[in-house]
C-alpha cells in the first residue's frame, strides 16, 4: 500500500451539490454562488464525530449531479470558484483532515467542452476519437448526427475513450492540477469496474510521481477486488460485498451472511487479508441504512460492526442521525438532501453519540485498525470475532437480538477482558472459558489483559 495514512482513517462522506442545496440542472450562464462555504459550519461536527478524513463528492463543473463533468479544471459554479474550494480544503488540512475528491474518468456529460466541439463541428472536430464508439453512420438517442457509447445505457453520460493518449493526458493533467492547487490526498474513482486496468497502472505511476502517499480507491460493485486493488494499481476498492451483508444480515436475522463474508475476505485464509477495503453502510448511490433496516435498534449494531471490522470505515453525511432516504427508478436525489446541521428533528439523535464513541475507541486501538481477523462465534443474531496485532488482542461481540444474550467464548488464552465501550466492565476467564453478556441491540469491545 502506498498510502500508509489511510489505515488510521475514519472517513466522513459529503455530497456537496446535495448538502449545499445546489439547483439542478446547472445554468451555465449563471454567476458563481459560493455554496461550498456552508461546509465550514460542518467541520466542528465532523471533527467531534471522530472522523479524520473527508471524501468530497463531485465538485467540478457539471451538467446536473456532478458525475456528468463539463470541465475538470473548474469548480462547479453552483458551489463556488477554484479559490473557494482551495480555501475550504486548506481549512480542512489545518484541522488535520485528509481530503479525497471524486475522479470521474469513465465518462463525461454532454456539456463537456470536447463533446460540444464534436456537436458543433461533426467529423471535422479533432475530438471525435475522445469518445467510445463515436460514429457518424447513425444517430444518437438525442438525435445527434452521430452515435456514441453511454455509460450503462445512459446517454447523458458519454463514455470516454481512455485508449486515446490525449484523453489520458488531459485527465492526468487534471489530477496534477488538483494535487498542486488543492493539495488533495487521494481520489475515489467512479465506475472503476468499467475502466480498463492499464489506465489505473498509468494513473498509479502518475500519482506516485506527484505525491508518494496519494491514495487511490475504486468504486467496484462486483468482482474480485484484487483485479483493481494491488501493488501496481489501486490501494483499495469499495467493499460492496460487506455493504450488502451488513444490512441484510440484520434484516434477515442471519449473521451467518456477514460472518461468511468477513471470514472469506479477512480470515486466516482471507483473500483480502492485506487490503484495507473501503467499508460503508450507505452512500450517495444506495438507500440510507435507516431505510434498509427493518428494526431501528439495528442502527447501533450495524455501526458497531462498521467500526470494528477490518478495513476503513466511512459515514455518509446525515446517516449519523439515522435519516432515511430511498432511491427510485427515476431519481436518487432523496439520497443527497440538504440538511440543517442544527435541526432538532433528527430521528435518532443518540446514534451520533454512539458513533462518536466507536470512532474514539477505534482511533485509540491499533488492533481494531490493523489487527488480524479471526471468527470466534456466530449465531443468527450474535457474532464474535478477534483482532490481534503487536501484542494487543481485541474481542468484539455483537448482539442484534431483541433480548440480552450470553456469548460463550472458549479456548481463551488470556486471564481477563476490559470492555472499552461500556464503562471498563471486566470479565474474568476461567479454565480458558468466559461467558460474555451482551445487552440487546448492542456490542462489547473487549481488550485482553
Whether the per-residue pLDDT at 74 is higher than 90: the answer is: yes
Q: Which of 15, 114, 113, 22 is nearest to 58 (CA)?
A: 15
Mean pLDDT for 406-422 is: 95
* 142 assigned to some structural domain: no
Same domain, 342 and 389: no
Contact 188, 219 (CB under 8 A): yes
384 strand-pairing partners: 377, 397
Q: What is the predicted pLDDT for the residue at 330?
A: 87
Q: What percent of the chain has pLDDT over 70?
A: 100
Same domain, 433 and 309: no
What's the number of domains the chain is made of? 2
Mean pLDDT for 229-251 is: 98
Mean pLDDT for 295-318 is: 98
Task: Select from 368, 391, 415 the last residue of a domain.
Answer: 368
Confidence of residue 1 (pLDDT cuts 50, 70, 90): low
Contact 81, 89 (CB under 8 A): no
Whether the per-residue pLDDT at 3 is higher than 90: the answer is: no
Same domain, 21 and 169: yes
Mean pLDDT for 286-290 is: 98
Extract the runs of DSSP E, i.e. beta strands, from 186-328: 186-189, 215-218, 236-237, 278-280, 312-316
Q: Cell numbers of 415, please?
A: 486471564
Whether the per-residue pLDDT at 198 is higher than 80: the answer is: yes
Q: What is the mean pLDDT of the chain?
A: 97
Q: What is the predicted pLDDT for the residue at 437?
A: 97
Q: What percent of the chain has pLDDT over 90?
A: 98
Phi, psi of 302 (to 5 degrees): -70, -40
Range of the domain at 125: 4-132+161-368
Q: What is the predicted pLDDT for the residue at 422?
A: 98
Burial of residue 440 (number of CB atoms within 10 Å: 0-12, 13-18, 19+): middle
* 138 assigned to some structural domain: no
Tell me the CATH number at 396. 2.60.40.1180
Tell me the CATH number at 343. 3.20.20.80
392-411 tens-digit pLDDT: 999 999 999 999 999 999 99
Same domain, 99 and 12: yes
30-65 tens-digit pLDDT: 999 999 999 999 999 999 999 999 999 999 999 999
Global pTM value: 0.97
Same domain, 284 and 411: no
Three-state secondary structure call for residue 447: strand
Whether the per-residue pLDDT at 94 is higher than 70: the answer is: yes
344-392 tens-digit pLDDT: 999 999 999 999 999 999 999 999 999 999 999 999 999 999 999 999 9
Strands 442-448 and 392-399: antiparallel
Amino acid at each position: 500500500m502506498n498510502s500508509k495514512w489511510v489505515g488510521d482513517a475514519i472517513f466522513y462522506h459529503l455530497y456537496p451539490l446535495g448538502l449545499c442545496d445546489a439547483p439542478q440542472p446547472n445554468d451555465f450562464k449563471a454567476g458563481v454562488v459560493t455554496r461550498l462555504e456552508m461546509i465550514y459550519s460542518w467541520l466542528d461536527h465532523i471533527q467531534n464525530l471522530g472522523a479524520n478524513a473527508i471524501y468530497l463528492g463531485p465538485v467540478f463543473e457539471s451538467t446536473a449531479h456532478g458525475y456528468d463533468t463539463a470541465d475538470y479544471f473548474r469548480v462547479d459554479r453552483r458551489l463556488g470558484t477554484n479559490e473557494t474550494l482551495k480555501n475550504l480544503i486548506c481549512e480542512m488540512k489545518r484541522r488535520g483532515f485528509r481530503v479525497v475528491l471524486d475522479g470521474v474518468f469513465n465518462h463525461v456529460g454532454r456539456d463537456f467542452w470536447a463533446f460540444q466541439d464534436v456537436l458543433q463541428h461533426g467529423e471535422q472536430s479533432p475530438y471525435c476519437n475522445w469518445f467510445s464508439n463515436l460514429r457518424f453512420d447513425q444517430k444518437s438517442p438525442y438525435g445527434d448526427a452521430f452515435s456514441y457509447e453511454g455509460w450503462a445505457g445512459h446517454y447523458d453520460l458519454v463514455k470516454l475513450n481512455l485508449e486515446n493518449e490525449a484523453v489520458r493526458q488531459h485527465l492526468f493533467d487534471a489530477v496534477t492540477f488538483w494535487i498542486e492547487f488543492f493539495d488533495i490526498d487521494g481520489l475515489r474513482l467512479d465506475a472503476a469496474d468499467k475502466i480498463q486496468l492499464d489506465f489505473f497502472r498509468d494513473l498509479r505511476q502518475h500519482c506516485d510521481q506527484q505525491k508518494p502517499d496519494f491514495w487511490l480507491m475504486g468504486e467496484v460493485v462486483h468482482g474480485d477486488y484484487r483485479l483493481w486493488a494491488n501493488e501496481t494499481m489501486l490501494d483499495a476498492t469499495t467493499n460492496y460485498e460487506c455493504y450488502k451483508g451488513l444490512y441484510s444480515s440484520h434484516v434477515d436475522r442471519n449473521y451467518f451472511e456477514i460472518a461468511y463474508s468477513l471470514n472469506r475476505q479477512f480470515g486466516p485464509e482471507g483473500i483480502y487479508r492485506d487490503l484495507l477495503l473501503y467499508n460503508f453502510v450507505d452512500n450517495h448511490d444506495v438507500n440510507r441504512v435507516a431505510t434498509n433496516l427493518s428494526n431501528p435498534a439495528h442502527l447501533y449494531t450495524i455501526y458497531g460492526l462498521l467500526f470494528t471490522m477490518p478495513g476503513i470505515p466511512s459515514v455518509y453525511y446525515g446517516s449519523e442521525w439515522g435519516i432515511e432516504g430511498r432511491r427510485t427508478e427515476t431519481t436518487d436525489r432523496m439520497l443527497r438532501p440538504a440538511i440543517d446541521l442544527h435541526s432538532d428533528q433528527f430521528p435518532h439523535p443518540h446514534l451520533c453519540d454512539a458513533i462518536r464513541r466507536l470512532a474514539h475507541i477505534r482511533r485509540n486501538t491499533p488492533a481494531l485498525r490493523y489487527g488480524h481477523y479471526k471468527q470466534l462465534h456466530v449465531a443468527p443474531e450474535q457474532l464474535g470475532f478477534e483482532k490481534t496485532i503487536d501484542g494487543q488482542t481485541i474481542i468484539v461481540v455483537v448482539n442484534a437480538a431483541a433480548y440480552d444474550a450470553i456469548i460463550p467464548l472458549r479456548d481463551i488464552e488470556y486471564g481477563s477482558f476490559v470492555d472499552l465501550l461500556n464503562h471498563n466492565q471486566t470479565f474474568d476467564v476461567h479454565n480458558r472459558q468466559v461467558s460474555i453478556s451482551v445487552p440487546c441491540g448492542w456490542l462489547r469491545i473487549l481488550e485482553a489483559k
